[in-house]
Every structure is written in C-alpha cells, then in structure tokens.
Structure 1
Amino acid sequence: MARSLLTLAAAASAALPDVEIQGVRQLTTGTTGRYDAALVSVPGGEDLVARVPTSPDALADVESELIALRALTAGAREIMGFDAPELRGTAPFDDTRVIVTSYLRGYHVEASHIPAGRGVADAIGRALARIHDLPQSVVRGAGLPVRSPADARADLERLLDAVGRSGRVPVRLMVRWREAVEDDRLWDYDARVVLGGTQSTSFVLRDSPDGTPEVAGVLDWQGLSIGDPALDLHWSAGAPDAVDDIFAAYAAASVRAPDRALRVRARLHAELEFARWLVHGIETHRPDIVDDAADLMDSLSAGLAGDALLADLPHRDRGDMSEAIAILDRVPRDVRAGADTSMHTDAFNPADLSLHTEEVWDSAPPRTASERASADASTEAVDVTQPVAPARPSAEADATDPSDATQPVDLRDDRS
C-alpha cells in the first residue's frame, strides 16, 4: 500500500533534519510505482522530491543513484550544460531508505510521440552525446562499474543461454540474436560514460525563448557507468518517426564519431528487453510474466519476418585509412619509444662493419687458369682475390620490431 503524504513528509524530515518542511503534495502518475514520492516545500519557495523505494530492486537503484549523483561534480555538470538532480539528503526509513533531491521542472515526451525534425529528437540526441562525452574519470573515480565490449558481449551470451533453456523463445529470434552476438563487427566500439539504459522520459524538456524544445535536465542516473553507448539509445526503436533525427543529432554533437554498428546494437538491445522480461519472470517464479514475455516475443518474431538485423552493418574495408590509423594508435608508446635507433645515422666508420677482412666475398666458384686467361683477354683485369667489405646492414634490419513545463513532473522512470 502506498505511503501517505504525512508519512512521506516524516521521511523527508528524517533526511533533512535541519530543514523545516512547510508543505507536501503528491507526485505520481497514478500507476503502481517503484517509489512512493512526494513534492516537499521548504523555505525559500523551493520544491524538493522525496522518494521511498517500494521493493528491494528499487532500493538497489536508489543506492546506486546516491553514488552517481555524488560523482557528478560541478565540473561534470558544467560540461553537460543541463541539470541533473542534486542530492539534498538521505536517511534509513521503514527498513528501506528515503532520498531527497532537487526537483527538475519541465515536461516529458513518450518515445512514440516524438516527432521528426528539429525539436525534441534533436535536443535528446545532443544531450545524450554530451553525457557520453563526459570524462571517464567521473565514473572511475567514484568506483562505478566499468564494462568493456567483451564484458557486454559475454553478458548477452549468458542472457541468450538462459532464455534458450526456457524453450519459450521462437527459433527465428534465437538465430537472429545469436548471429548478432557472434558478429565481431558489433563489438568493436569504444566504451563511453553511459546512463546504462535510459528512456525517452528520462529527459526533462522545456521550451526555449524561441519555442524550440531543449533538454532542461536528465533523470535516472542509477546506471551511471562506463559501457555500451547503444544501451542509452535502445528506446529509439520505439520512436519510428524520429529515430533518424535522434541518431543524426547524436553523431553531430559527439566529439567522437559513433561506431558504425551503434544503431544495429541499439536495436539489438531493444529486442532483448523481451528476453530480459522473460528471465525476470523465471527468476521471480511468475508464470504470468513468463507467458506475457513469450507472447511478446511471438509477436516480435512475426513482425520481423524478412528483416535482417545485420543487413545494414558495414563490411570491413581493408583499405580504410581510419582503421589503419586506429591500429597504429593501439601500438604501446613505450615499445615504439624503446626501439633501437643506433643505426639511424651515418656517423660510423664503414670499415668497422667488416667483420672478416681476410675473407674473400665471391660467390662464384674458383676459376680455372684457362677461364681466367679468357676473361683477361676481353676486359680489364680485376683482381677478385682481394678482400671485399660486406654490404652495409640497413637500419630497418637492425631496428627492434615494435610490435539532462509547467506541470509537475513525475520523477519516477517509466518502469514505475
């Protein structure tokens, strides 16, 4: 049963012992949520958000969010150019925890309602790029998770093994997903700072003076980590009118070109949400969830008939100069710096290179007397019996081989 407003006000007081709670009002979308939440008024006219998790999973997310919000320093927030919730207080409450943060005013747009063209799609794409371009030290310094492409790939392999054992996944989907996980081209990407699975409603929007939507803030920081940027774009599969503009704005705003398989991988993550829902049902012993997930995958499989996930994936071009440069950049600098350059100069005595000054360097067999006489009659005489210095070794042979409205916003995510 949802906690009353008086209970939530008491929870906020526990987290803010030195702050007077002047009022409290409900903050909800009217659905069964993962949090009980309220807007709390404090002196100065500011509204804060107090949230209490309603399940162990939601509590785990709160604990992760606390670390993430503390990791977002003033410098990191300045780089983003939009707001993230500011932590104001937290305290144990009713065998769980209350978290109080600043309130981000604005509005949300569901993915399926995002229109094409300049506007919401462009704003969200650019905001995501700025998050992904944050210095990785923001994550590493806070001890948050770091997942390499190999880690992400292994996670999906385990997920497919689990759903495969259930016998509830259509063969077409299993083949499609296995092929994607096994394709090396999908996993040759640079891990970035990510939110770890955001939704379109994670972005709080407002209209600029000229009426253009812009991102005022971003919610859902509990998954902050270093990982696959495609995770934060998987929801774009539910925005058919705007998906092209989202990716275009993302690419244009990023300081680094996104990997060529980003969009394919984002679609893969979107499809695998059904598999994760199935695993959740199995692990929680909920046959209703298992059946629901299986029905969803049957529909997905039917809808994907004739659709090849990897069809638009670029083939490797052996002559691609950018790939060649990328390979060079992977060569350890200390190895190259330690290469032997002692022969890269002409400041040496050629005579010192002759190791066998008394040895005749003539590969021809000895001449007979008559052959020598014949040669002497046709050309100037050359005394081949004199020692010849060996060819000077090349330098190449000697060098070491380097191998973030007006209506109140429900700050809970769509999973509420």
Structure 2
Amino acid sequence: MELAQYASELLGVDLDPATARPDESGWDFHVTHITDTGGSPWILRRPRHPQAARQLGTEGAVLAAVRDRLPVAVPHWRLQSPRLVAYPRLPGVQAGAEDPRTLVYGWDIDPLAAPDAYLEPLARALAEVHRTPHEALPALEAPTPEALRSAVADRLARARSELRLPAARTRRWRAWLDDDSLWPDRMVVVHGDVHPGHTLVERAPVGPPRLSGLLDWGNAGINDPAVDFVDMLYAGGPPVLDLLLNAYRRAGGEVRPGMRAHVLARASFLWVHVALRGLDAARPAWVETALSRIGA
C-alpha cells in the first residue's frame, strides 16, 4: 500500500498523494511532506533502522512532557506507530541545513544579527526543557553521570581500536574524561540534536526572522545538558555558543564553571561519534569526513 493511502487510513485524514515531497536529509528517518485535501500540510516520518523505531517511544514521551512548557512550538503527533509518525507541519522555515556530503551547516539567517529574535528564545526553550521534572517521564531511565562518562570512554576505546586517531587529540580527550571539574553532576531532559536545521523561524514583513519551533526530537532523553549546545557551537562558532550560554543563564539555566570547556570538548568528540556511526551504517564518506575533521 502506498504511503499516502496507508497514512490516510490510520489518521482518518485524506492526504493527497500528488503533493507528496520526500526529504531524505535526515540520518534516522525518511520524511515526506504532504498536504491533505483541505490544503493543510503534514509531515510523515518513517524510521530508517530499528534503533530509530525504538527511539520513537522516548521521543513521543519527551514531546508530551515539554510541549506546554516551551515558548516555541514542537511537533504534536497525531499518529504514532513503530512504522510511521504523522503530525501537522509546524509553521516557519528551517534556520539552516546540513550539507549531506561535507556535514557542514549552512545558515539561511544570521544567528548573531538579532539575538533577541533567535538565540535568546532558543536559550529560554532549552532552559525549560532542562527544567522538565524527571517524574514527567517515569518510563525513562536516567543515566548516572558516572555511567555517561563511562559510555564516552568506551566509545573512545572503540574508536582507538578501529580508527586512525591522532595521538595528541586522543590525549586531550583522555584529559577531558579524567577532569572531574568539567563533567556534570546531574542529568536533565534534553532535546539532544539542536542545530539550525532543527530550528524553525518565521519571517515578518518588518524585523528579523524569529524562532518559532523546535523539530526532530529523535535524540531526546535524559542526558548531559551540554549536548544541546554542541551542534550550535559547530554551526555558529564560539560567538554563537557564548551568546547562547549567556542567554541560557539569564533564563535560569545552570551554567557550571567549566561548562563552556566541556561543550568545546564534546564538540571535538562529536566527530568520533560520526565516524563510528559511519562504520555502523556502512557510510564510508561519513568516516572519512569525520577523520578529516578530527585531524584538522
């Protein structure tokens, strides 16, 4: 059965197959933009692999827990199954996109031009996400800070055995892992994948584009709060990180001593995750891109 018909039957909404437009840019989901016969736009997401399908339960639970807390919109799922998620498309356009070949983010806005329109509301949204009580997600297991650190150490050990890692960079990662002052002492609810392509902005006739939504919560869960700053650092550099952290502090978020250094270290270690993901997904281009960044 074709996707539009299958989704229409499950939703009880008449989707027009002639309007279906695939978006294959995501790592974990096949995405289809489609419009119903009344002209309303929808998003259909299908998992690319079993791990993405398993993560849907966590993603849906986090979305339900944070939806009414945030100053911006998040997806409101109208259909959730292991094979398909569907929801009305949020208004706005992506603030940027990732080049699938180079894995470099390109901006369609200037994130530094009007911080009060983009970075500051993003910081307020992240502060609210991180304040979400764990009790709102009783089915999720919260890792201990020690377990989190151990998992990172295990990934480094695997990467050292399977990849060509520069010795100097490996020593810096070991020093980061061994520095108690840099690591958080508590875990929080996180989005897990905050970058320009997962932020929506709305343009007005006058004034700068304003943040309007947060997309793709597929990596959401309970984790180190620093993970929600890593990709924004990578996309916008230290100026974006510093404005975001300062706004996050003003919004009531906890910026520990050493948190900035911890985000910087996590950002450099991001390429280890990408390389290992490339190995597991048989995507040699990801591996080569990641190794070139690690060696830079």
Change (3 A) 1:34 1:10: farther
CA distance in structure 1 between the aligned counterparts of 2:198 and 2:25, rounded to whole angstroms: 17
Counterpart for residue 60 of structure 2 = 69
CA distance in structure 2 between the aligned counterparts of 1:223 and 1:276, rounded to whole angstroms: 13
Change (3 A) 1:157 1:129: same
Shift of 1:180: 0.5
Change (3 A) 1:185 1:209: farther
Change (3 A) 1:275 1:246: same
Q: 1:89 aligns with which of 79, 93, 99?
A: 79
Counterpart for residue 155 of structure 2 = 159
Change (3 A) 1:13 1:91: farther
3-state SS of paired residue (2:79) = strand
Q: Deviations over 1:252-273 (max 9, x none)?
A: 112x432222222222221112
- Indicate whether 1:297 and 2:291 are aligned: no
Moved over 4 A (4+): 28-34, 207-210, 284-289
CA distance in structure 2 between the aligned counterparts of 1:189 and 1:285, rounded to whole angstroms: 36
Match for 1:11: what amino acid? Answer: Y
Counterpart for residue 11 of structure 1 = 6
Q: Deviations over 1:350-401 (max 9, x none)?
A: xxxxxxxxxxxxxxxxxxxxxxxxxxxxxxxxxxxxxxxxxxxxxxxxxxxx
- Indicate whether 1:236 and 2:222 are aligned: no
Number of matched pairs: 282
CA distance in structure 2 between the aligned counterparts of 1:212 and 1:284, rounded to whole angstroms: 39
3-state SS of paired residue (2:219) = coil
Please show how residues 4-403 of structure 1 align to structure 2 within 5 Å: 7-16=2-11, 18-22=12-16, 24-28=18-22, 31=25, 34-42=28-36, 45-53=39-47, 55-56=48-49, 59-73=50-64, 76-91=66-81, 97-110=83-96, 113=107, 114-116=110-112, 117-118=114-115, 119-139=117-137, 141=138, 143-166=139-162, 168-207=164-203, 211-238=207-234, 239-240=236-237, 241-254=239-252, 256-284=253-281, 289-299=286-296
TM-score normalised by length of structure 2? 0.82
More strand by share: 2
Counterpart for residue 102 of structure 2 = none
**Highest CA radius of gyration, 1 or 2?**
1
Percentage identity across paired residues of the two chains:
23
TM-score normalised by length of structure 1? 0.60
Runs of 5+ consecutive residues of structure 1 not aligned to the other structure? 1-5, 300-416
Change (3 A) 1:276 1:72: closer
**Which sits farther off after the overlay, 241-250 or 33-42?**
33-42
Runs of 5+ consecutive residues of structure 2 not aligned to the other structure? 97-104
Shift of 1:8: 2.4
Give the CA RMSD over aligned residues.
2.8
Shift of 1:182: 0.3
Shift of 1:49: 1.2
CA distance in structure 2 between the aligned counterparts of 1:66 and 1:167, rounded to whole angstroms: 33
CA distance in structure 1 between the aligned counterparts of 2:168 and 2:282, rounded to whole angstroms: 26
Please show how residues 405-416 of structure 1 align to structure 2 within 5 Å: none
Change (3 A) 1:205 1:164: same
Shift of 1:68: 2.8
CA distance in structure 2 between the aligned counterparts of 1:285 and 1:39, rounded to whole angstroms: 27
CA distance in structure 1 between the aligned counterparts of 2:85 and 2:289, rounded to whole angstroms: 33
Match for 1:272: what amino acid? Answer: F
Instruction: Tell me if structure 2 keeps the 8 A contact 1:61–1:222.
Output: yes
Q: Deviations over 1:231-269 (max 9, x none)?
A: 011012221242221111111112x43222222222222
CA distance in structure 1 between the aligned counterparts of 2:88 and 2:149, rounded to whole angstroms: 36
Q: Deviations over 1:127-162 (max 9, x none)?
A: 2122112222222x2x12412221221111111111
CA distance in structure 1 between the aligned counterparts of 2:195 and 2:260, rounded to whole angstroms: 16
Shift of 1:72: 3.7
CA distance in structure 2 between the aligned counterparts of 1:296 and 1:172, rounded to whole angstroms: 14
